[in-house]
Structure formats: C-alpha cells, structure tokens
Amino acid sequence: MPDITTLHNLYTNDPNGLLTTITAIYDRIEGKDLNPVWISIIPRENAIARVKQLSLITIEERVKLPLYGIPFAVKDNIDVATLSTTAGCPAFACGPVAENAPLVEKLEQAGAILIGKTNMDQFATGLVGTRSPYGACASVFNTNYISGGSSSGSAVAVASGLVTFSLGTDTAGSGRIPAMFNNIIGLKPTRGLLSARGVVPACRSLDCVSIFAETASDAAIILSVARGFDEFDPYSRIPSDSSGAAPWIIAPTFRIGIPTLNTREFFRDIHNPVLFQKAINVISHDLNGELIEFDLTPFLNVASLLYKGPWVAERYAAVGSFVDQHLTEIDPTVRTIITNAKDYTAVDTFNAIYELERLKKKTNKLWEIFDVMLVPTAPRAFTFDEIAAAPIEYNSQLGYYTNFVNLLDLAAIAIPAGIRPDGLPFGVTLISHAFTDTALLILGDRIHRSLATNIGGSSRSLADTPKLLSMDNRILPSNCFLIAVIGAHLSGQPLNYQLTERKARLIRTCRTNQEYRLYALKDGVPAKPGLLHVKNSEGRGIELEIWAVPADKIASFIAMIPSPLSIGSIHLDDGQIVKGFLVEPSAVNDAQDITHFGGWRSYLNSIKASS
C-alpha cells in the first residue's frame, strides 16, 4: 500500500483514485484466503459510502484532514461501532458495540477509512500470534514462521499492503515483535499518550495502543493525530513542556546504549547477532552515534517481574471472571496464564512494587550515561512447529528485549534492520524516556533508511518515500531551548559544567553577523567576555556555540548569570536569530576590545602564547 503522501498525491491528481484504492482492498480481501488476518470487516458498501462522503470535500478542505482517504485497521480488542469486540475470543463478544473507541473516532475524523478489525492472541496474552480461534497469522516472508503477536493481524495487514497503517496494543512487546517479523515500523508510544478507553485491557496500568506503519514518517503523521489527553481515561497523561526533552536528536552526535556481549541473547540463532552488529556499526560510523556499552541485567530483572510476578494478576482483574465461566472456550495456554494469576496475593504485589522501585534506581543510573538504547527487537524467529512444542518457553524468549519497557515507563520504536540470508527480516528497537516519541521517530527514520532497502513485504523502495524530517540542526524539539554562549560556558571552559550538568547538548559552532563587538571584561572570576551589538559595525563575526537546554532546566541556568551579562537576541551570520549572552553597554567602558581575535578562545590562546 502506498504511503500517506503518495496516496494524497494520487487522490489530488485522480478523481477516482480514492474509490479505486478502497475497491482494490476489498477485491483482495474477497479474492483470497485472508481470514487469519481479519476477525471482522466493515461491509464493502459502508466503506464505499465513506468514500463518497469524503469525495465531496474540496481539495482545499482536504488539507485539514491529515489522514484523508487513508485505509487502516484496528486490533480486535479496540471498540469499533457496529462491530463486535472479541479480543480473540468469540464468546467474549456481546454483540456490536455502540460507539467507537475515542482513538478510532479521532482517526476517522481526520479522514481515515476503517477497513476492519484484525486477529490477535486471545486477550492480548502472547507474543506469538498463534493463540487465536480465528487461525494463526504467518510472517509475510515465510508462512512456516509465526507473525508474532499479540497484534498479529494488525502487523500483517500493513506488511501485506492491505492497509496503510493499523493499531495494535502493547503491554510486553505486542506492538514491536510483529513489526520485526514483518519488516515494518512498530511504535510503542509513551504510556497514556494515546487514549486506551474502549480497549479491552490486558494489564491496564501498563497497556499502550501501538501504531504499525511502513515508514517512520507515516507513523509520525498518525501519532500527531492520535495523541492527546482523554479526561475519561484514568491512565491518560498530559506531558509537561519539559517532558521527554531530547536535545540529542539535534546534536551532531548522540550517546547510544548497547548491551554488553555477555548480556545479549539470541537463543542459538546465528544470523541475528551478525545483523545486530552491522546495525551498531552503521549507527556509529554513518550516523555518528557514540557507542556506550552497558550491562542489561537490571532491565532483564525488571522484565522478569512482568510474567513471573503479580503484574500478571492484572490480566485476571481484566477478564478473569469471564475466563472462569468459559474455560472450554479459552486457548489452553491463555487459560493457564490467566487462571494461575489469581494465586498472587496483595503481599506479593507490594513486594514486587518495592523490587521494581529498587531496580529503577539501577536503571536510572544507566540512563545517565546514554540518551537512547538500542536492542534487537526479538532474539530470534520461531516456526509454528517450534511454538507448538514449547508455547510458553519460546514466548518468554521473544520478550527478552521487550518486557521491561512498559514497567519502566519508556517509549520505543521497532525498526526494520535488514534481511537475513534465509530471507527472514531482522529488526532493532530504539528505547528512551517517556515522551521522547517524536525524537525516537526521527532517529528511527535515519536508522531505517541506513539499514533497509525495501518496504514491508513488498519490492517498493524505501528511498522513494518521504523522510520524516531533515536532520538540519535548526529543527528544535519544543521541549528544548537554544542558547548561544561566547565565553566561560564554551566547551572546555570553566563554566561549561553549568550546561552539561543540566543535560544540555552542543548543537554547533558558528559566528554572529558582523555587527557585534567582543570585550574582555574586568575583574571577572573566572574571566568572561561581553558581546555587544553595535549597529553598522564591520567585522568577521564572533565565534560562539549553540547549546540545546531542556526546557525545565533553562530557568535555573539563567538565574546563575551575573550582572552585567544578560540574555538577548543574537543575529548569526546565516540570518538565524538565537537567544544568547550579551553585555550591558555601560560595562564595556573600561573593558578591552578584543573583536579582532574573532572569539574568546582565540583571545585566550593569544594570552598563552605571549606568556
């Protein structure tokens, strides 16, 4: 299925483009056995009526609908008006639901066209995609291999070109594992960033609605529509202006955490370790990532709490009563997991909460040394026969790199990272702090384009799709503040620590325009210069550094600036205007004019040379 931009161009240039696109989807669905992908379908006539409704909108008005005419699917634990919600269990459905989940409503209001609801591991309990009475989805690359789950149908619908994007859910990796096995993007947003109202919960305190798309650019468009506070969802969150500050995304380099060799695990697979190392090399050499090796063990200990601790009891809280009354209609593995969960006590729960907080202290220490984490999305792929032989053991192995993410309130994006010699796809996952979703998408797009050639399960070229964003260093995340420094705060200078201890990052070195004079101020400790704008002054400009400071740190930084220095607007030689250090005009009356040196470092070097 073409990307969002290509479809919009088609619809603009071809009056019948939208009808042709939607008709072709239904022809494919009805023309071949795609039942394992779908649990229920919006009737063709309803979709065509939606097409006719959208076609009445003028081209000028369509720009207000970012998802105009874009076909999508949702996992069948998400409510859709007029369709039943089965969560992978026919007996669970209570007839057609009355209204859309708020998230589905948002997408439709933005112009998207819903095609249907997709297959899943029953009650979203599994990472395999085989625990469904509706059949098991296979990887689009090899039908002997599982698709991954629990959002199996949603991933396959995108990878096979039936829809442009889809919604899944993610508690332990269900929005990421199927993305790797089908060579697509899987965005696991920050918990609470997307409304989960109208979604059958797995673990309500951890659940996220996830996004599958072929490119990070499409995922970013969908996220921009889908995100937002829902006052009726108890777990919905409003990010503060400083939440998820990611100055590293516009810096020349970024620190990327890589698990040490002894904490990497591929469970006897021989191809994935090679491709993971290739991804590491490309990120280091081509994308300027600074590699930081770290011990993954504390994160793995967190992961063990999810299925070997009382959080699994949340699954019983969600659907346990129903399961107890319908034991014969529940997948045997799902039944075992959910019914055993009721054995946990309140004491077990509190002890696990205490252990999680203890482990958070350890993981937070590690986050101080890197900006983003890179892991394989899954250690390996499994055939259907392998999963049938050991359904719980191999499911657990699939979650090796995913189970800790939601417990630690992190955001993640699964990215295609190449094709193995046996033709199966491999993928990596970027992980960072809550609300860094946009930064992860930007970096994910760069990595995707560096490691992959084709899109999903098709022969279409990734290079022909729009990049998410230019990595021009002038693009500024809303949660950062650019500030220009010209003296004691420069890299290597005495006050630079005031920036670095606030997690600020150097963006670039550049110059002011010619209308600035630089003075060596008297009696400062440490010595400081003063930058003064002098209209019609002529020179080559003054060297400075631009730093990105997290928004919640800028006030404390500015509070440390002594008189006669101040913060004002500085005009750069390329026409950009940034905030930065200036000096009060009265302070330069008895100061030495050092403009001819072109910058503070050159002036300091001249003093050293003369001494």
**Catalytic site positions:** 75, 150, 174
- Angle at 141 (CA atoms; ends 455, 75), nearest 5 degrees: 75
Instruction: Output helix, strand, coil percentages for the chain, rounded to the nearest 5.
Output: 35, 20, 40
Phi, psi of 293 (to 5 degrees): -80, 140
The pair of three-digit structure tokens given for residue 86, joined into one six-digit string? 């089965």
Interior/surface letters 358-367, b for 16+ CB within 10 angstroms, e for the rest: ebbeebeebb
Question: How far apart are alpha carbons 434 and 445 in whole angstroms?
Answer: 19
Residue corresponding to tokens 């059949």: 135
Torsion region of 177: left, alpha or beta (phi above 0 gives left; psi -120 to 50 gives alpha): alpha
Q: Which amino acid makes up residue 126?
A: G
The pair of three-digit structure tokens given for residue 562, joined into one six-digit string? 């002594």
Bridge pairing between strands 138-139 and 142-146: antiparallel
Total number of residues shown for the chain: 611
Phi, psi of 523 (to 5 degrees): 70, 15
Bridge pairing between strands 289-294 and 254-259: parallel
Q: What are the Cα distances from residue 195, in Å, to 222, 276, 293?
A: 14, 33, 35
Residue corresponding to tokens 């394989």: 376
Classify residue 553 by its DSSP letter: G
The pair of three-digit structure tokens given for residue 563, joined into one six-digit string? 């008189």
> Which residue in 355, 356, 358, 343 sits closest to 312, CA to CA?
343
Residue by residue, DSSP assigns 81-136 as BTS---TT-GGG--SSBSS--HHHHHHHHTT-EEEEEE--SGGG--SSS---TT--
Classify residue 179 by its DSSP letter: H
Question: How far apart are alpha carbons 199 and 221 in whole angstroms?
Answer: 22
Q: What are the Cα distances from residue 238, in Å, to 227, 410, 442, 479?
A: 10, 15, 22, 14
Question: How far apart are alpha carbons 101 and 308 in whole angstroms?
Answer: 31
